[in-house]
Amino acid sequence: MKDQHQGIGMTSQRTRDRLIVRLRDAGVVDERVLEVMASIPRHLFVDEALATRAYEDTALPIGHGQTISQPYIVALMTSVLLGEAPPQRVLEVGTGCGYQTAVLAKLVTEVYTVERLEPLMKSARRRLVGMGHRNIIYRLADGSLGWPEKAPFDAIITTAAAPELPLALREQLNEGGRLIIPVGEDSQELRLIVRTADGFTDELLELVNFVPLVSGKV
């Protein structure tokens, strides 16, 4: 199995480059995000049995009922989060396998990431530390509550769908801060919430299909 991963690694830059072409064709134009995604070995974030599918533009299972997000969605959400002026401090709700975390860590100063499922948190942390990321702070907790002790954040990104907008997350934004979150159950909307001097704006980005956000006490 180890040899399989090594073999994938030898050709992964070529396959990553092909994925980036597909993302451009799908309408992703943020070169900051595309450059980072071209540099990250996505096959290391999935089970070895799925490594050959790592550079397809599709979500893949990572165990515990969770998935690694479709690359197009990662690119879209990250582009929206960066905006014109990249945020310094970002909260990620739902570490999962750590792929979105790795993308963020290459683009912002500090990433605070919260995961509800301990096995995923442990493996993601081990993987990300092994890859040399030193600007990520981890927490095992209910992500729908955010991370009040570290708030406010310049941006918050949620990688699983909440049945309704968690007000705790919205309140942990700095003025001008952005929250990108999928909301809904059977029908889900990817929404952008921006905190302004007068309150909040709420914009529908597109219809999506995410796994449900896991909440409750750890």
Q: What is the pLDDT of residue 10?
A: 43
What radius of gyration do the chain's Cα atoms show? 16
123 is catalytic: no
Q: Averaged in consecutive runs of 10 residues, what is the pLDDT profile of the chain (218 residues)?
A: 44 87 96 97 94 94 95 97 94 98 98 97 97 97 96 97 95 97 94 97 96 76
**Residue 186: predicted pLDDT:** 86
Catalytic residue among 12, 39, 69, 187: 69
148 phi/psi in degrees, rounded to 5: -55, -35
Both tokens of 181, joined, read 């979150």
- Write the Ramachandran bin of 96: left for phi over 0, alpha for psi from -120 to 50, otherwise beta: left
Beta strands in 50-119 (DSSP E): 60-63, 66-68, 89-93, 110-115
Given a contact cutoff of 8 angstroms between Cβ atoms, the answer to whether 214 and 166 are in contact is: no
- 59-208, which class in CATH? alpha beta
